[in-house]
Amino acid sequence: MLFPPGWVEKRKLISMIMNKKILLSLLLVAGCWLGASAQQVAVKTNLLYWATTTPNVGVEFALSKHSTLSMTANYNPWTLGSDNRIQHWFLRPEYRYWVTEKYTRLYFGVHAIGGKCEVGGFRLPFIGDRIMRGLATNYYKGSFVGGGLSIGYQFYVSPHWNLELSAGAGLVRLNYHTEPIDGSQASASARRTKVLPIPTELGVSFVYLFNSRK
């Protein structure tokens, strides 16, 4: 059976978009459902990721007076301009220990991270080709998994709203291949594996608290 040119690629793209929409919807539903329970739950979104055209959402719930467990999801399907791509999705579960009390002031965290990416067509500021050689002329396509440590601080805004500053770093194992941005498959590389030190979190986030006791 013959299909129109590009039909398979379009079907894959539609399927990928639908899967990510379902994932984000489930996270939102989970946050709302948990918010109705006795535990204190927060839903949040990172403004810095939105600034890079990356929709994101997180759900966090209390385990005890000083600890919480969170899950964040990011998804970016865009190509910027004609060649620049920052397409990716990832999940990041994280355990946080709060020095004073949950959702209050300073915390330290440990997290895992995993997802897929297709990035390239631009130069990374400051580090150039030190991490990903030829990023300006190639697309890096693959998957990654890793973990890291984080630190953050939440500022009280109102009984149901906080403002969070966060940062984290760690190591990821990237399984990838490269393709020239001009579409020349003859220059595509074989699949490779690389361990990279990367920033795993950088955030300025709005946090909404359900069942706030403040």
For each of the domains in the chain, give its residue range(s) and CATH number, in order of start: 7-209 (2.40.160)
133 pLDDT band (50/70/90 cuts)? low
**Is the backbone of residue 81 left (phi > 0), alpha (psi -120 to 50) or beta?**
left
For every residue of 92-147, DSSP letters joined together read EEEEEEESSBTTBEEEEEEEEEEEEEEEESSPPTTTTTSSSTTTTTEEEEEEEEEE
Mean pLDDT of the chain: 80
7 pLDDT band (50/70/90 cuts)? very low
- Residue 127 to residue 157: CA distance in whole angstroms: 36
pTM: 0.74
DSSP 19: H
Mean pLDDT to the nearest integer, 119-141: 67
Residue 37 has what pLDDT?
47
Closest to 200 measured CA to CA, from 152, 136, 153, 161: 152
- Residue 159 to residue 180: CA distance in whole angstroms: 51
Summarised one tens digit per residue, pLDDT across range 73-91 is 999 887 766 666 777 889 9
Q: Which residue has the tokens 């966090």?
A: 60
- Residue 193 to residue 132: CA distance in whole angstroms: 12
Summarised one tens digit per residue, pLDDT across range 148-207 is 999 999 999 999 999 999 999 999 998 988 877 776 665 556 678 889 888 999 999 999
Residue 24 has what pLDDT?
57
Mean pLDDT to the nearest integer, 15-42: 57
Residue 213 has what pLDDT?
57
Q: Which residue has the tokens 């793209």?
A: 13
Contacts of 163 (CB under 8 A, 6+ apart): 154, 155, 157, 204, 205, 206, 207
pLDDT over 70 percentage in the chain = 65
Q: Which residue has the higher pLDDT, 137 or 117?
A: 117
Q: Which residue has the higher pLDDT, 24 or 174?
A: 174
| Residue 90: both structure tokens together | 């990832």
pLDDT for residue 135 is more than 90: no
Residue 101 has what pLDDT?
93
Cβ neighbours, 10 Å, residue 186: 5
Q: Give the pairing type, strands 84-98 and 105-120.
A: antiparallel
